[in-house]
Amino acid sequence: MTPYAIAHLDEVDELDDGRSPYRPVRHHFGIASFGITAWMGRTQGDLIVNEHDEADDGHEELYLVHQGHAVFEIDGQRVDAPAGTFVFVPPGSKRAAFAEEPGTTIVVVRRRAG
Say if CB 65 and CB 106 are below 8 A apart: yes
Reported confidence tier of residue 113, pLDDT bands at 50, 70, 90: low
Residue in 41, 68, 57 with CA at minimum distance from that of residue 110: 57
Is the pLDDT score of 114 beyond 60? no
Is the pLDDT score of 1 beyond 90? no
Q: What is the mean pLDDT of residues 31-54?
A: 95
Reported confidence tier of residue 47, pLDDT bands at 50, 70, 90: very high
Domains, the chain, ordered by start: 37-111 (2.60.120.10)
Is the pLDDT score of 23 beyond 80? yes
DSSP string of 29-53, one letter each residue: HT--SEEEEEEEE-STT-EEEEEE-
Q: Distance from first CA to last CA of the chain, Å, rounded? A: 28
Reported confidence tier of residue 2, pLDDT bands at 50, 70, 90: confident
Is the pLDDT score of 13 beyond 80? yes
Q: What are phi and psi of 11, to 5 degrees?
A: -85, -10
Q: What is this structure's pTM?
A: 0.92
Between residues 93 and 19, the one the model is more confident about: 93
Cα–Cα distance measured from residue 52 to residue 60, given in angstroms and rounded to the nearest whole number: 12
